[in-house]
A and B are shown apart, each in its own frame.
Chain A
Amino acid sequence: MAQEDIKNHLKETHDRVFEHNRSWAAEQAKKDPEFFVKLSAGQTPEYLWIGCSDSRIPAEAITGLEPGEAFVHRNIANLVCNTDLNVMSVINYAVRHLQVKHIVVCGHYGCGGVKAAMTPKDLGLLNPWLRNIRDVYRLHQQELDAIKDEAARYDRLVELNVVEQCRNVIKTAAIQQSYEKNGFPIVHGWVFGFQDGLLKDLKVDHESMLHDIQKIYNLTDTA
């Protein structure tokens, strides 16, 4: 491609976004003239969504949730690390200030982050981040090693990673204290499949998971 063609192509992709945004804003205003006025007034989302940055999983589109209904954090491989101030701030704000009722950790099959983490390669800046996935593998090594089919083994690791991140969410003081006081939020683990577009509920048992981890990670005042 000539330099000029590349320039034009780059310009086109960006223009499309703003054109679509204008269409969307006009369409919303036509459907409900009060839509943006109401949005401006504030947010009271029921959900905190912690998902993967992967472009194929826009939280709102796949769940049919409208603007204003889900507070969203997305990072590489939907990880919740206790020293990451970024995700910890999101959880803190969502639970203590917005008082969300549900927290969904949503992974997806075919996750590039999970695959990259299991590749024996130095990925520079990504190493410390992806290390957390290797730790999940180590925790479930026996089960994972026994799965002979490679794709099936990755799929299982994706599920186990989601469950582990749910556990990490429950380990935070914000969740433990809010749950004790209010009976919410409830933590859920879901996995999105590209083959059919469907969400699979991993049926994480919030109550028993909380009970289990509190033997060691209890951050409420009552023992």
Chain B
Amino acid sequence: MSQDTRDPFTYALSSNSAWAGYKSHQNPDFFPRLASGQSPSILWLGCSDSRCPETTILGLQPGDIFVHRNIANIISPTDINTSAVIEYAVAFLKVKHVVLCGHSACGGAAAALGDARVGGVLDTWLTPLKAVRNAHADELAAIRDDKARAVRIAELNVEAGVKVLMANVVIQDHIKERGLQVHGTLFDIGSGRVRDLGHGTGKPRAAAFGGGGAGDGEVIRGRHATLVFRSEGAGMQAR
């Protein structure tokens, strides 16, 4: 899209129209089914970062993931915004998995690792991440590489966030009543892979999630057509 000379706003609307046409062509029942309700099995708690679009990177479809994304995927126990999302997803939609996902090269992590003020309300928002940094100051300072240090604080942030999730009363009730699962994961922007960090209710299953599984190399394509986004506009190509 960046090569497109038109207003990006107009582009997005025209892309939407092409996408809607593509989806209905592929499956005429797609939108009527969506309109009848949602029953997602996953609640995704991730970063607002534009490089982490959850449905895209997981290769899933509209209707699959209930989503909350905020700055640096921080889970603050008294944040009413996140708490309302968790309550709705867990108690009403009865999702089966809560997935907290951090990522490499996070701007929030970089800010928390620095000593400068970010400004506005951001310093207050980033306080839990600053606390994580303080709690692991020696370990983080010992990492020489900036990128590796940012990855490590992102991991520690997920670990801390999962602890808050495990202390949430709604989540506790649903773990006990129906085996709700809580996971801590990290998205590596440099490779596009999601890694299970093994916090929460599960243990890391490296054998299942590491590279080389049966899913490698599979391509998920539409059955009758391909959606193409180009500089001259989005379109649908029938096969």
Contacts and interface: CB of A to CB of B under 8 A. Distances in A.
Contact of A21 (B40, B58, B68): B58
B88 A126 contact: yes
Nearest to B216: A22
State the majority secondary structure of interface residues on A. helix
B5 interface: no
Contacts of B17: 198
Interface in B67-95: 67-71, 76, 79-85, 87-89, 92
Contacts of A124: 87
Interface in B32-68: 32, 34-35, 38, 40-42, 48-68
A22, A26, A126 interface centre (most CB from chain B within 10 Å): A22
B66, B84, B97 interface centre (most CB from chain A within 10 Å): B84
A195 B32 contact: yes
B114 interface: no
Contacts of A63: 12-13, 15-16, 19
B191 A86 contact: no
Nearest to B233: A64
Interface residues of A, number: 88
Interface string A124-155: 11101110000000000000000000000000
Contacts, number: 283
Nearest to A52: B67
B166 interface: no
Interface string A20-54: 11111111110000011101101101110000011
A65 B120 contact: no
Contacts of A62: 16, 19-20, 62
B51 A23 contact: no
A102 B53 contact: no
Contact of A56 (B62, B196, B209): B62
Nearest to B211: A22
A161 B61 CA distance: 26
Nearest to B229: A64
Contacts of A97: 107, 118
Contacts of B213: 18-19, 22
Nearest to B234: A64
Nearest to B187: A21
Contacts of B50: 43, 45, 47, 67-72
B131 to A, nearest CB: 15
B13 A68 contact: no
A62 B229 CA distance: 12
Contacts of B191: 25, 36
B70 A86 contact: yes
Interface stretch (A87-95, A163-171, A210-218): A87-95
B237 interface: no
A168 to B, nearest CB: 14
B130 to A, nearest CB: 13
Contacts of B121: 85, 88-89, 92
A17 interface: yes
Nearest to A55: B40
B156 interface: no
Contact of B20 (A7, A58, A197): A197
12 contacts: A7-B179, A18-B213, A23-B59, A25-B191, A26-B218, A68-B50, A70-B50, A73-B70, A92-B122, A93-B71, A112-B92, A197-B30
Closest 3 CB pairs of A and B: A20-B59, A64-B15, A19-B215
Interface of A: 6-7, 10, 13-15, 17-29, 35-37, 39-40, 42-43, 45-47, 53-76, 81, 84-90, 92-94, 96-97, 101-102, 110, 112-113, 124-126, 128-130, 173-174, 186, 188, 194-199, 201
Interface of B: 1-2, 8-9, 12-13, 15-20, 23-24, 30-32, 34-35, 38, 40-42, 48-71, 76, 79-85, 87-89, 92, 96-97, 99, 104-105, 107, 118-122, 124-126, 170, 179, 181, 183, 189-194, 196, 208-209, 211, 213-220, 227, 229, 234
